[in-house]
Structure 1
């Protein structure tokens, strides 16, 4: 008669090799079950979304149209709406507001911009980033040994459990 095994309790610790083998099997079974459920959920979400796609797109189009209409009227009447010098107007059913974005810089072709800045001797607009070279420290750990704030981590061991998967061709 086959021995029945129940799932380990929370905080479970394997007591021997057989229990560890069983726990690895249960881990693989549980991971596969979770993957199946996640896949089913994603399929259901895709089906629901697809079924409501026309309605969703119609609502998005209506929202865009309403926002455009509101903005067009508000822009044309901004002086009256903000006659007190403010940036917000209360229209009983909601507020409209205008906000100035902070200045920003966009750069295309970074290499060409850097080249031009250097040619024009505008190096104050070029950032030089200094940082410790970790690769060099790993290559020569004895030299940096004892420097406060520098630790060379060696022999760190990670533990991994990979349940076997059977692939069907």
Structure 2
């Protein structure tokens, strides 16, 4: 585990972080990602991260969101996204966008755009992935305990080897 990760996990579990982070972390990530032409994502220094672009569920306008992700072992084009919303009460908007257009999403992963198919995980499959997510980033348990909704989990897989 990288130095400082436990401290970051502890801080990220606080309610203060949940209030501030959604307004600061994505803005910094978008700016640095744009300035480095997709090569750097600041938050990825602690957790792997990608940039999700998907049309808005209502507007149809492209929405770009930097997100932590859990790359799946054994494939270079499969990721788990956790709709934790930093432990805030509502589902993050990007989750509704993925549900409305599961084949209209693209992720930017390490500077490459990858068209993906998104699957909302449910039942036993969700439970298995949730256990893995808790091992990957323990603060997710704090986020879930703080909210009444079930945190949405998605598996994103590259569509038929399409990359750019």
The TM-score normalised by the length of structure 2 is 0.20
Q: Which has the higher strand share?
A: 2
More helix by share: 1
Between structure 1 and structure 2, the one with the greater Rg is 1
Q: Name the TM-score, length of structure 1 as normaliser.
A: 0.20
